[in-house]
Amino acid sequence: MPIQVDLAEFAAKAKVILALGAELKANYTILNKQKAYLYAGFDDLKNPEFYNKYRQSILSEIKRLKIKPQIITHDLNPLFLSSRLAEELNNSLFKQSRVMPIQHHFAHIAGACAALGLKKQKVLGIACDGTGLGSDAKVWGCEFISYDFKQAIRLGHLGYIPLPGGDKAVAEPWRVAVALLHMVYGQQMLDLPIAWIKQKKYEIKILIQMIEQGINTPLASSAGRLFDGISALIGLCLNVNFEAQAAIALENQASKAISLDNKAYSFAINKQDKMFVADIREMIKQIVQDIQDKQTIAHIAARFHNTFVLILGKMAVKISQQEKTDQIVLGGGVFFNKIISEKLNAYLVKRGFTVHIPRQEFLSDIGLSLGQAVLGARISANK
């Protein structure tokens, strides 16, 4: 059975919209007569069995409801199978429909607001997850978004991290660790007294060339990749076998020493071309020093968690002062991390903010299509 969400507050006089979600944790939403129906549970569309079930379910529901989508929304990434399906449906069955790409993290925040039933007001959304294609063709994943229920505007992000090998960096977090170290030390990172560097010196030299020459090395502002990279840097999880494995391992270690409440690493928040950007290079340098000082993995993991909370919290305070809002909405799978979500909530509440966290399916990509439907309705209404 689909999850039903009343969108009368968000989508007055909305057209019939089919929102196709992303690719992993696949889902779709049908918006009809100001009600959204979210269908989830199709997993990874790269699996032909799941893709066929997803496609057939969409066609069956459209037929059952006797509707013709006027707008078909999909993720900004054109390579996703859901995005390709949007084009296919437009070219075959619904030639009069308008196809509309929606940025991944904007959809997270819009969907969270709709699921929470928030009234129309300006909010600051903090979207933290693995990856989502950004409007600048870079990979986003730690984003600060002003949203007034009409439009979403990106106002801040984590500083970009190179991902040598692209998608390979997801399965091999040590690649992200190399990029983090190269940001600080350049080629001298090869001389650092870290065991895994000595073991992978030949491969690392190749990655350094890729980074310096920009070969298959997209830039990412991803919180998920940062967690992966830190996990690998401290020797906890160099490779992964399932989604979020490195980040979960890092959280588990941090929970053993999280009583380090007041200890965090250094970082900077700079403003570049009206955009707030978090610079983590000093944090990386201090983590390396902790490794050299033989601090425990739990100690370093806890300090990193404290630091990440402060990055999000201080960035939120700066942007909210500029935007004149005290309403914060969280979105993205990173907030399944209880240490991060609970400490960030406490930090912001102490400073007078109201923090809104949707239930799990709307926090992750499972409910992403709801946000696509809402934004599709808003964009069409504004034109």
- What average pLDDT does the chain have? 94
Whole-number pLDDT of residue 347: 96
Q: Per-residue confidence at 383, pLDDT binned at 50, 70, 90?
A: low
Mean pLDDT within 20-34: 93
Mean pLDDT within 378-383: 75
pLDDT at residue 187 tops 90? yes
Give the span between the Cα atoms of 119 and 121, in whole angstroms.
6
Whole-number pLDDT of residue 367: 86
pLDDT at residue 260 tops 70? no
Whole-number pLDDT of residue 338: 95
Q: Per-residue confidence at 18, pLDDT binned at 50, 70, 90?
A: very high
At 287-332, the pLDDT tens digits run 999 999 999 999 999 999 999 999 999 999 999 999 999 999 999 9
Domains of the chain: 3-117+360-382 (3.30.420.360), 161-356 (3.30.420.40)
Share of the chain above pLDDT 70, in %: 97
Q: Per-residue confidence at 262, pLDDT binned at 50, 70, 90?
A: low
Share of the chain above pLDDT 90, in %: 85
pLDDT at residue 33 tops 90? no
At 57-114, the pLDDT tens digits run 999 999 999 999 999 999 999 999 999 999 999 999 999 999 999 999 999 999 999 9
pLDDT at residue 226 tops 70? yes
Backbone φ and ψ of 18, nearest 5°? -110, 115
